[in-house]
Amino acid sequence: MTLEERIQEVNQRIEEACRRSGRSAADVNIVAVTKYVSQSMTAKVLDSGLKHLGENRWQNAEDKWNALGDRGIWHFIGHLQTNKVKDVIGKFEYVHSLDRLSLAKELEKAAAAKDLVIKTFLQVNISGEDTKYGLAPEEAASFLRDIQGLTHIKVIGLMTMAPFEDEAEDTRRVFRGLRELKDALNHQGITREPLTELSMGMSNDFEVAIEEGATWIRLGSVLVGKEEEE
Ligand SMILES: *Cc1c(COP(=O)(O)O)cnc(C)c1O
């Protein structure tokens, strides 16, 4: 399949998931995850009209960003080491993986130095798997309280990763759990503004995530492909 065909098919599946759940496709944003592909493929993704690009390692993103930085809106979706914050700040508009206080403090310092506000998602480990990063759900409220004073970080929502399941339906409880946590945190009114965003759903499970309220889906293989397929 060509990139255009994959985009068309994904858009159709998004629309169907929205129809099933009474949502508008306009409320579901795609982050095209380019971590598996080259700079030239990333350029094609931008040519196709997709603007939001996701990368999970600065080392892999650096050349693409240097060549194409101005053309896209960049999302850092991987685990972020504090010593890499300086590379990311000012280049990536969104960080999906805020998961600890030391990282929040480092982001605050770097963003303040550049006089900008970085948009972040709190990464939460809803599934409870040992192998997954993220705060435990019950830690989220106190974490948000701890970072209330950090004015160069704007937490716009929550992010999670579901376990890989053969049946996508089996991921539903994870996505529902993230949505319920967002609602509960908003009810407590901890953040300056309500959390509006849910970053959840990948190639294997994005339709279920949309049905449960995803506003950002992060799509690699199903959309951008993997380089060996090109
Ligand atoms: C790689 C990655 C994705 C995309 O994975 P696919 O299954 O290829 O869609 C999404 N989110 C994160 C955090 C990733 O690391």
* DSSP for residue 223: T
Sign of CA dihedral 118, 142, 137, 19: negative
Q: Is residue 210 part of a domain?
A: yes
- Domain residues for the domain of 215 are 29-219
Q: Is residue 136 part of a domain?
A: yes
pLDDT digits (tens), the chain, 230 positions: 899 999 999 999 999 999 999 999 999 999 999 999 999 999 999 999 999 999 999 999 999 999 999 999 999 999 999 999 999 999 999 999 999 999 999 999 999 999 999 999 999 999 999 888 999 999 999 999 999 999 999 999 999 999 999 999 999 999 999 999 999 999 999 998 999 999 999 999 999 999 999 999 999 999 998 875 44
Ligand 1 pocket, 35 CB below 6 A?
yes
Q: What is the CATH number of the domain that holds 68?
A: 3.20.20.10
Ligand 1 pocket mutation pick from 6, 56, 129, 217 by most atoms within 8 angstroms of CB: 56
220 CA → ligand 1 middle, Å: 6
Q: How many domains does the chain have?
A: 1
Q: Position of tokens 């770097």? A: 110
202 CA → ligand 1 middle, Å: 6
Ligand 1 pocket, 95 CB below 6 A?
no
Q: Is residue 18 part of a domain?
A: no
Q: Is residue 112 part of a domain?
A: yes
Q: Is residue 227 part of a domain?
A: no
Q: Is residue 9 part of a domain?
A: no
Helix (H, G, I), strand (E, B) or coil at 123: strand
Amino acid at 190: I
Q: Position of tokens 């994904």? A: 10
Ligand 1 pocket, 221 CB below 6 A?
yes
Q: Is residue 72 part of a domain?
A: yes
Q: Is residue 8 part of a domain?
A: no
Number of the ligand 1 atom closest to the C-alpha atom of 206: 9
